[in-house]
A and B are shown apart, each in its own frame.
Chain A
Amino acid sequence: MARRGDSYTRLIGWLKLALPLMALAMLSTIFLLPRRSEPVNTLPVHAGDTPGAAREQIVAPLYTGTTAGGDRLSFTADTVEPLSDGLQQILAHSLVARLDLTDGSRIGLRAQTATIDDANRSADLQGAVRIDSSTGYVIDTERLRSAIDRISAETLAPVSGTGPAGTFTAGKLTIRSDETTGDVQLLFTGGVNLIYDPQDP
């Protein structure tokens, strides 16, 4: 009966040695086990291009330039945002432009929106476009295309307005500078009708 007791004691002796070693081994490898929540991949990363989020806007920009003839052009807007990549085409909201001409006179332009294309140096003004000139003319139209590096603009819609005296309508207005004299001219074409009331001019 002693032999069975003897192997039992040997078994317990080995177990007393093996069991703690196993425990140590398990404890030391515990850091290898994957933890349930991986903190790295649950960051709130914004994916995809939701509108409005990624557009940057420039607020109240001011652009000034001088034409070859020496006339000064400046325009400002409430907000300006790039249309295409880079600044080739920008869309300006409630644009106010001003032409200070070398002969001392002035032309003001105003529009709800204006697409300014730097490539072909032009601006396309739309929506309640108003042209007021220091010669006393206030002209309204729906759409006007203007160069931004020289004095040249034309309306793409009929115009109506008031002059120093009388109110008038016309098919089209072209603003250009005369090559020889350099004088800037407001040219109304396409049939002009003026009504002048001597009693209240």
Chain B
Amino acid sequence: QGTSVAFGGMSQDTDAPVEVSADQLAVNQSDGTALYTGNVVIGQGEMRLAAPRVLIFYTEDESRIDRMEASGGVTLVSGEEAAEAERAVYSIDAGTILMTGNVLLTQGSSALTSERMIVNLDDGTAQMTGRVRTVIGNSSDETGQ
């Protein structure tokens, strides 16, 4: 069973430019993989995805970025909401972010936890699946951002 929640409030233009900033980028010459490390922040419109490591995957013809895989503890912020998880896969063309591993979504004073969450940036919704639990905290500072 999954829980749909609003995420990021308004829909977002997933064709907007994507910016990635990091301390370091290592490109492997033989297979062309690009690994960003150190305070990596991926941004598009209102969305910010921060992680210590992000690996870039290109499409077959190597002309577009297919997806970005963030790992090592990921924080996703969009508008008012924030979500944390162990890993996240951001598919740019699809406009989705799949977060997996101890997902914690905080919305104002309440928080939801689950195993997986798919955020759809197009329409600003998120779908949480896998042991979804809601924590309604009375004091917002305890669970809020």
Contacts and interface: CB of A to CB of B under 8 A. Distances in A.
Interface of A: 101, 103-105, 107, 133-137, 163-166, 168, 170, 183-189, 191-199, 201
8 closest Cβ pairs, A-B complex: A103-B30, A184-B29, A135-B32, A186-B27, A194-B20, A188-B25, A192-B25, A197-B17
Contacts of B55: none
Contact of A192 (B17, B21, B58, B65): B21
A196 B34 contact: no
8 contacts: A133-B27, A164-B62, A165-B65, A188-B26, A194-B25, A196-B18, A196-B19, A198-B92
A196 B93 CA distance: 12
B63 A201 contact: yes
Interface in B63-101: 63-65, 92-93
A194 B21 CA distance: 6
Interface of B: 14-30, 32, 34, 36, 58, 62-65, 92-93
Given A164-B58, A196-B65, A191 B21 contact: yes
B20 A196 contact: yes
B15 A135 contact: no
Contacts, number: 99
Contacts of B30: 101, 103-105, 183-184
Contacts of B63: 164-165, 201
Given A198-B17, A198-B64, A201-B63, 12 more contacts: A135-B32, A168-B25, A184-B30, A187-B25, A188-B27, A192-B21, A193-B20, A195-B18, A196-B19, A197-B17, A198-B18, A201-B65
A183 B25 contact: no
Contacts of A168: 25
B23 A189 contact: yes
Nearest to B30: A103
A73 to B, nearest CB: 14
Contacts of B21: 191-194
Nearest to B22: A192
Nearest to A133: B29
Contacts of B34: 163
A183 B17 contact: no
A178 to B, nearest CB: 9
Nearest to B39: A191
Nearest to B92: A198
Contacts of A197: 17-18
A198 B14 CA distance: 8
Nearest to B17: A197
A186 B29 contact: yes
A143 to B, nearest CB: 20
A192 B32 contact: no
B29 A107 contact: yes
Contacts of B16: 198
Contacts of A199: 15
A189 B35 CA distance: 12
Nearest to B29: A184
Contacts of B26: 185-188
